[in-house]
Amino acid sequence: MSHATVLIVEDDTTLREALCDTLELSGYAVASAVDGQSALKVLESNTVGLVISDVQMRPMDGHELLARIKSRYPTLPVLMMTAFGNIEKAVSAMRQGATDYLAKPFEPSSLIEKVKQCIQQPEPQDDQVIVDDLRTRELVTLAGRVAKSQATVCIGGESGTGKEVFARYIHRQSHCSDGPFVAINCAAIPDNMLEAMLFGYEKGAYTGAYNSTPGKFEQAQEGTLLLDEVSEMSLPLQAKLLRVLQEKEVERLGGRKVIPLNVRILATTNRNLREEVAAGRFREDLFYRLSVFPLHLPPLRDRPRDILPLARFLMRRICSAQKITEPVFSPMAEQKLLEHNWPGNVRELDNVMQRALILCDGSEVTTDSLCFEMDIPAAAQIPKEIPESSSKGCLSDDLRSVEERMILDALSEDKTSRKEVAERLGISQRTLRYKIARLREAGVAIPG
């Protein structure tokens, strides 16, 4: 049976029952409503993949129902049914956001074909927005509205909540959707390289600059630039970024030519920027420049109705990549997913789905197939013994488990500041914060 439930909205009892029977015989889960108001109540309490609605209904007709659905659930497809003589109304409905229409009377085969087209699962994409919880539905609606403006948007939330997914959604819904979407991770690149990558450089600007290279701002012309984890940027570089945002122009390193910019700026952060400003780690003027329209994504544990749709989406994506049949989730497995706290958010859920596919029997994911971070023996994650050659040295790139243990041991010592930990390990404070964030995303408890 298909995961997607089809909601039939029809005030004619005989026709409504016939439509439900036809779809159920074809393997679809079906819900029904006698009018628009009843349909909205069904949508509030059920996961629906498609709405099929009559146009002529009272007291709320199909056009008003369509408008309300698109306001609350902008990504939900709606198929309109209308009498053959009222095709104009169906065309009008499509202009208002309907996916397609059916002219009455129609054959059962035509109905099934239309339903297949409307709810056919596209190839899974990393930037696809999967929402079912009321809070995230409201955020998607809000993101769609702000996308139509030129306002700078700062998206906050814990690591792994889907901030970049929302950023890509804003880009797709914006007036610059035909332009490029360029993202740069400010936490993963050293400051000297980050400046060159953002603003570009001319030949000979510094040792190793053998060719003139456009920066991310230039690459994003007529499109969108995402500054991912912008709070990790150093204060001197923040000042240079502020000037570019204010003047809407950039100069490459080592260059004198001013390049005008037409770029939509989005930013993400897993920190509270107001607290960062108060602590002197983030410029207040840049904070206000970036936070013209702030959005905050709640953690996965606070939007439980998103868990199962996301789990199915991630499992479908993994199976599609491996070209294997997608297993179903047992009721007990679904309950176990809902009961987990998800400290690593969607990234952790993705890891659990990959493990579940390995551990399941191929046709069904059971509770035995679900392996969370807490279920993995500590010895399997981090070795207890640290090689003597590594115990006093700096972090080694090729010994990740040793690196993690060294960080955790250093953080566990009483009265040790993060600055002292970074100095002892031979890395910068920014690199330490980045590695701690990666550990936290993986569900590792961070001392202190």
Is the separation of the CB atoms in 266 and 290 below 8 Å?
no
Of 58, 91, 119, the residue at which a domain comes to its end is: 119
| Maximum separation of any 2 CA atoms in the chain, in Å | 84
pLDDT at 148: 92
Please answer whether residues 66 and 78 qualify as being in contact, where contact means their C-beta atoms are separated by less than 8 angstroms: yes
Closest CA to 440 of 412, 414, 417, 408: 408
Of the given ranges (99-108, 269-278, 375-384, 433-442), which has the lowest mean pLDDT?
375-384
Q: Is 263 helix (H, G, I), strand (E, B) or coil?
A: coil
In this prediction, residue 385 has a pLDDT band, given cuts at 50, 70 and 90, of very low
The string of pLDDT tens digits covering residues 8-56 is 999 888 888 999 998 888 888 899 999 888 889 888 877 788 999 988 8
- 237 pLDDT band, cuts 50/70/90, is very high
- pLDDT by residue (tens digit) across 53-71? 988 888 888 888 888 888 7
With respect to residue 225, please indicate whether it lies within any of the assigned structural domains: yes
**Are residues 159 and 270 in contact, defined by beta-carbon separation less than 8 angstroms?**
yes
On whether residue 128 sits in a domain, the answer given is no
Percent of the chain with pLDDT over 90: 42
Same domain, 248 and 265: yes
Could you tell me if 233 and 242 are in contact, meaning their C-beta atoms sit under 8 angstroms apart? no
In degrees rounded to 5, what are phi and psi of residue 265? -105, 130
Strand-strand pairing, 200-201 and 224-228: unpaired
Supply the CATH number for residue 357's domain: 1.10.8.60
In this structure, the answer to whether residues 202 and 342 fall within a common structural domain is: no
pLDDT value at position 66? 86
Whether residues 144 and 54 share a domain: the answer is no
Select the more confidently predicted residue: 411 or 232: 232
Q: For position 347, what pLDDT does the model report?
A: 92
Please tell me the predicted confidence (pLDDT) of residue 393: 40
Q: Does a structural domain hold residue 163?
A: yes
Looking at residue 69, its pLDDT comes to 86
Q: Specify the pLDDT at position 85.
A: 55
Using one digit for the tens of pLDDT, what is the confidence trace for 350-375? 999 999 998 888 788 999 999 887 55
At 107, give phi and psi (nearest 5°): -80, 150
- Residues 272, 145 share a domain: yes
Average pLDDT, the chain: 83
Map 290-326 to HEC letters. Answer: HCCEEEECCCHHHCHHHHHHHHHHHHHHHHHHHCCCC
**Whether residue 251 sits in one domain with residue 172:** yes
User: How far apart are the C-alpha atoms of 28 and 40, rounded to whole Å?
Assistant: 20
Q: Are residues 357 and 420 in the same domain?
A: no
pLDDT of 268: 96
| 171 within a domain of the structure (yes/no) | yes
| Mean pLDDT, rounded, for 122-140 | 75
Domain count, the chain: 4
Task: Answer whether residue 246 is part of any domain.
Answer: yes
Q: Where does the pLDDT of residue 86 fall: very low under 50, low under 70, confident under 90, or very high at 90 and above? A: low
Judge whether 173 lies within some domain: yes
Reduced to 3 states (helix: H, G, I; strand: E, B; else coil), residue 372 is: coil
How does residue 400 score in pLDDT terms, banded at 50, 70 and 90?
low
Per-residue pLDDT tens over the stretch 180-207:
999 999 988 888 789 999 999 888 887 7
Domain that holds residue 194: 134-296
Sign of CA dihedral 345, 72, 115, 9: positive
Burial (Cβ within 10 Å: 0-12, 13-18, ≥19) of residue 34: middle
Tens digits of per-residue pLDDT, 277-301?
999 999 999 999 999 999 999 999 9
> Given this model, what pLDDT does residue 404 score?
74
Please report which helix (H) or strand (E) contains residue 229, including its range. Answer: none
Q: Which of 207-211, 267-271, 326-330 has the lowest mean pLDDT?
A: 207-211
Q: Which helix (H) or strand (E) holds 217?
A: helix 216-219
Confidence label for 88 from pLDDT (cuts 50, 70 and 90): low
Q: How far apart are the first and last CA of the chain?
A: 48
Whether 180 maps to a domain, the answer reads yes
Query: What is the structure's pLDDT at 424?
Result: 75
Mean pLDDT value across residues 378-401: 43
Bigger pLDDT: 249 vs 191:
249
Q: Which two tokens stand for residue 409?
A: 């041991």
Higher pLDDT, 163 or 435: 163
